[in-house]
């Protein structure tokens, strides 16, 4: 009985001495032969810190390196349980250093700013020289008379060149090159010449196709539209299709009503303007007479037909002829 009670007491004492430890603590107590090799708590704490540093270092690598290093770490950890603590410490330090080398050897992920690149068209198109302004311009700013002579000038100079020629009423615009006699057509200048200049240029080209004997212009200065004589029947009174005013197609002047063409042609040139023609028409309606010497218009209010003009000429107011001696008027 005494031995039985002593055995129970011994078992109770052994249970009181049992504490919870992890597997790594027991692996550090056994060597390769299975003999017990005690380890101090301080060394055990160092081993735990080394393992935690190893796992933390491996987790920072990329996915592929992390999986390989974790597998290597787990295999090394399982095999290190069969070796003594000195061997475990050396293997752990070697694995930790290799993990650090793998981590630092990877190239950093640097974001590079994309630099603006020239397009292939800009890189391939060289600059050209303008012989008018003596300046270097980009290819997009140049004009080429490619269909005729091939000479190149900048668009600004060609615009001014064409505008000046059209203002001078020149239908044919020559190439600005001094040695070139070829022409520049409006079909190539449509994008660089102003619209009003282009329209005037086209009108001038159309007029140049008409023979000089067939074309004339409206006699009214505020119109001056070009008209064409088709050479048909003789027409005197005609209407301008542009300003809708009457003019004489034979004399090419404003319409001289109540005056035939021969009488009109007998007038001096300074009396053929529209205002003078209106005065002539008024004088004819009022039956005024003109001095045969100075052509001054005279109105007789009373007296005989013998008129003495201020220029010294004597004429008959009835027939308008010169009054000499005893003039007998038939009117």
**pLDDT tens, 241-250?**
889 888 888 8
Element at 247 (helix H, strand E): strand 246-248
19 or 129: whose pLDDT is higher? 129
Radius of gyration of the CA atoms of the chain, in A? 60
Of 220, 210, 270, residue with least CA distance to 247? 220
How far, in Å, CA of 274 to CA of 280, rounded? 10
First to last CA, the chain: 194
DSSP letter (8 states) at residue 112: P
Residue 193: inside a domain, yes or no? yes
| 138 and 204 inside one domain | yes
Mean pLDDT, rounded, of the chain? 71
Confirm whether pTM is higher than 0.75: no
- The pLDDT value recorded for residue 12 is 47
| 156 and 204 inside one domain | yes
Q: What's the whole-number mean pLDDT along residues 317-328? A: 79
Strand partners, 281: none
Residue 227: inside a domain, yes or no? yes
Q: How wide is the angle at C-alpha 41 spanned by C-alphas 56 and 12, nearest 5°?
A: 120
Say which range, 44-48, 166-170, 223-227, has the weakest mean pLDDT.
44-48
- Domain end (from 208, 237, 257): 208
How far, in Å, CA of 134 to CA of 140, rounded? 17
Q: Supply φ then ψ for residue 4, to 5 degrees.
A: -65, -45
Asked whether 242 and 223 are in contact (CB, 8 A), the reply is yes
The answer to whether residue 157 scores a pLDDT higher than 90 is yes
293 or 24: whose pLDDT is higher? 293
Question: Which residues form the domain of 245?
Answer: 212-286
Say which range, 99-103, 166-170, 192-196, 268-272, has the weakest mean pLDDT.
99-103
- The pLDDT value recorded for residue 153 is 92
Band the pLDDT of 272: cuts 50, 70, 90.
low
- The pLDDT value recorded for residue 295 is 77
CB burial readout 236-247, b (16+ within 10 A) else e = eebebeeeebeb
CB burial readout 148-166, b (16+ within 10 A) else e = ebebbbbbbbbbebbbebb
Number of domains forming the structure of the chain: 3
The answer to whether residue 111 scores a pLDDT higher than 50 is no
Residue 259: inside a domain, yes or no? yes
- The pLDDT value recorded for residue 331 is 64
Band the pLDDT of 63: cuts 50, 70, 90.
very low
How far, in Å, CA of 91 to CA of 74, rounded? 12
CA atoms within a 13 Å half-sphere pointing along the CA-CB vector of 128? 17
- The pLDDT value recorded for residue 34 is 52
Residue 272: inside a domain, yes or no? yes
How far, in Å, CA of 105 to CA of 99, rounded? 10
The answer to whether residue 154 scores a pLDDT higher than 90 is yes
| 170 and 146 inside one domain | yes
Residue with tokens 């059209």: 166
The answer to whether residue 303 scores a pLDDT higher than 70 is yes
């Amino acid at each position: 009985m005494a031995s039985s009670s002593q055995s129970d007491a011994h078992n109770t004492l052994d249970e009181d001495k049992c504490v919870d430890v992890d597997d790594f603590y027991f692996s550090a107590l056994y060597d390769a032969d299975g003999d017990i090799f005690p380890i101090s708590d301080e060394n055990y704490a160092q081993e735990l810190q080394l393992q935690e540093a190893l796992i933390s270092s491996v987790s920072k690598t990329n996915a592929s390196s992390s999986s390989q290093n974790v597998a290597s770490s787990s295999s090394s950890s399982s095999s290190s349980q069969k070796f003594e603590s000195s061997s475990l410490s050396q293997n752990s330090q070697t694995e930790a250093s290799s993990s650090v080398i793998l981590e630092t050897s990877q190239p950093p992920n640097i974001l590079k700013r994309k630099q603006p690149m020239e397009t292939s068209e800009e890189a391939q198109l060289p600059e050209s020289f303008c012989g008018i302004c003596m300046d270097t311009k980009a290819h997009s700013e140049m004009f080429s008379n490619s269909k005729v002579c091939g000479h190149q000038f900048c668009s600004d100079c060609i615009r001014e060149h064409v505008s000046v020629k059209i203002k001078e009423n020149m239908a044919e615009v020559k190439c600005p090159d001094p040695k070139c006699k070829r022409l520049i057509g409006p079909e190539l200048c449509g994008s660089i010449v102003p619209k009003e200049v282009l329209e005037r240029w086209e009108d001038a080209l159309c007029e140049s196709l008409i023979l000089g004997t067939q074309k004339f212009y409206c006699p009214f200065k505020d119109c001056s539209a070009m008209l064409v004589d088709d050479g048909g029947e003789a027409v005197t009174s005609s209407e301008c299709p542009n300003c809708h005013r009457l003019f004489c197609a034979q004399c090419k002047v404003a319409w001289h009503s109540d005056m035939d063409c021969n009488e009109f042609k007998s007038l001096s040139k300074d009396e053929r303007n529209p205002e003078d023609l209106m005065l002539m028409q008024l004088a004819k309606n009022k039956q005024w007479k003109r001095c045969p010497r100075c052509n001054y218009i005279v109105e007789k209010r009373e007296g005989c037909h013998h008129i003495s003009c201020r220029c010294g000429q004597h004429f008959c107011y009835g027939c308008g002829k010169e009054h000499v001696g005893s003039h007998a008027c038939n009117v």
